[in-house]
Structure 1
Amino acid sequence: MTIPSPRDTAPRVLVVDDEAPLARLVASYLEREGFAVEVTGDGQDAIERARSWRPGVIVLDLGLPNVDGVEVCRTVRTFSDCYVIMLTARVEEVDKIVGLSVGADDYLTKPFSPRELVARVRAMLRRPRQDPDGSHQPGVRFGPLTVDVVGRDVTLDGEAVELTRTEFDVLAALAARPHVAFSRRQLIEAVWGPGWVGDEHLVDVHVAHLRRKLGDDASAPRFIRTVRGVGYRMGPGK
């Protein structure tokens, strides 16, 4: 009987950055924390490794040459629901939104602390994939929208809605307590974990993507409502 090596059983992280010294530094921090790590600076190679090696998390630079991070993320999302942390050297909000719009779960702006990156990777891999206390029942309905938390399925008018892991987790957190207003911080803790540190407006971007996929107009919402001064809630208006 073949005994699996620690690398075979360790959580897998693919680091994709054409700045070789930075990629090696990030990889060394991750490896010291017990992760199995592969590194590449090429977008096309990253896609191939994501398909064959099947990492749990991809740390992905937005500004790759040739096939850039946006295209890598868009392609990976066609066959994998692994977590994606986008790295960007630019601080403009549009760069962050573009990365998240193609399916990234989180982002970091360079320069960043490798320890913070490791903490975010750990937080992602600890995120529960279903309701932890079993209190959630499958098939929570909001008119034509059904959220099946156990099966991780969403249907609208009987048609399946394709969501990323993070989009689903945000929707499931809101659906768990209809009519309750969640602050951004509460959603961060429910979805990203209490140890997450960063820009809480990350929640707004994921909610915007959810609304787009659900055909939910923010000015006249059917499902996700903005509660001014607080955050968001599910359910009909008062």
Structure 2
Amino acid sequence: MTNKILIVEDDEKIATILAKYAQGSGYNHHIINDGAEVISWVKANEPDAILLDIMLPNVSGTELCKQIREFSEVPVLMATAKVEEIDRLLGLEIGADDYICKPFSPKEVMARIKTILRRVPTKAPDSLFQLDVVSQRAKLQNIELPLTPVEFRILHAFTSKPDNVWNREQLLNKMYDDYREVSDRTVDSHVANLRKKLLASQLKHDFIGSVYGVGYRFVLP
């Protein structure tokens, strides 16, 4: 599933540049330039992260962040050109996850968003799985699974795109960061071990199905 980023910025030029970089980073995006429109949109659309400018028409970014925290834990990256605001942001008085100062590099903004998204535990459809990508720990219905790091990465790939059919090369790219040479049998072995552990869980469901001639598919109960 592609992450959805809300860009709250009243400077049209800056918003357009950020939207272009968000698209280039693989994120869906939506732009709002008026603070009064933010809360209703967030409640209706549930974005995965918000880039929130402090200086906005009608409702300030700091006030919006406080209001968002009353009903959501969505990651918020604050953008400010006011040096005097930084102490308040660093003090977490408004519930922001991070801040960035203007003028900024759009690449740095995307890198910050990527970082705060990594901090958030992800959930598979139906909330069966809870995966924490930082600690690389996975739970199935709140019971921890005894996974190796490679098995965790495979499960994370499966649950992030449960409708995908994965071939061995795609899984290999998820398993290792160093592009090592391994055989198809190594991939199959790790998938088989993960499959056994999921089968042994409390649901006794076979989550991993084989697709003849292609690879594997994640199968929800």
Q: TM-score range by the shorter chain?
A: 0.5 to 0.7
- Matched residues in 1 for 2:72 and 2:120: separation? 18
- Matched residues in 1 for 2:120 and 2:60: separation? 30
Q: Which of 75, 78, 91 pairs up with 1:86?
A: 78
Partner of 1:107: 99
| CA apart distance, 1:23 | 0.8
Partner of 1:42: 34
So what's the TM-score if we normalise by structure 2? 0.53
- Matched residues in 2 for 1:132 and 1:107: separation? 24
- Matched residues in 1 for 2:5 and 2:21: separation? 12
Is 1:75–2:67 an aligned residue pair? Answer: yes
Partner of 2:135: 132
Contact 2:97 2:116 in 1 (8 A): no
Contact 1:17 1:64 in 2 (8 A): yes
Instruction: From the superposition, tell whether residues 78 and 21 of structure 1 become closer, same or farther in structure 2 (CA, over 3 Å).
Output: same
Contact 1:58 1:85 in 2 (8 A): yes
Is 1:98–2:88 an aligned residue pair? Answer: yes
Query: Which residues in structure 2 correspond to 1:1-238 (within 5 Å)?
Result: 9-92=1-84, 95-99=85-89, 100-127=92-119, 129=121, 130=132, 132=135, 134=137
Q: What is the root-mean-square deviation of aligned Cα atoms in Å?
A: 1.9
| CA apart distance, 1:132 | 2.4
Please state whether the residue corresponding to 1:85 is helix, strand or coil.
strand
- Matched residues in 1 for 2:31 and 2:109: separation? 15
- Matched residues in 1 for 2:27 and 2:113: separation? 10
| CA apart distance, 1:17 | 0.8
Partner of 1:203: none
Instruction: Name the aligned partner's letter for residue 77 of structure 2.
Output: I
- Matched residues in 2 for 1:128 and 1:107: separation? 17
- Matched residues in 2 for 1:116 and 1:19: separation? 18
- Matched residues in 1 for 2:49 and 2:3: separation? 8
- Matched residues in 2 for 1:84 and 1:133: separation? 23
Instruction: From the superposition, tell whether residues 54 and 134 of structure 1 become closer, same or farther in structure 2 (CA, over 3 Å).
Output: closer
Instruction: Name the aligned partner's letter for residue 97 of structure 1.
Output: D
Contact 1:62 1:87 in 2 (8 A): yes
Instruction: From the superposition, tell whether residues 132 and 13 of structure 1 become closer, same or farther in structure 2 (CA, over 3 Å).
Output: same
Gaps of 5+ in 2: 122-131, 139-143, 145-221
- Matched residues in 2 for 1:114 and 1:17: separation? 13
Number of equivalenced pairs: 126
| CA apart distance, 1:133 | 5.1
**Higher Cα Rg, which structure:** 2
Contact 2:35 2:60 in 1 (8 A): yes
| CA apart distance, 1:96 | 2.0
Please state whether the residue corresponding to 1:101 is helix, strand or coil.
coil
Instruction: From the superposition, tell whether residues 20 and 128 of structure 1 become closer, same or farther in structure 2 (CA, over 3 Å).
Output: closer
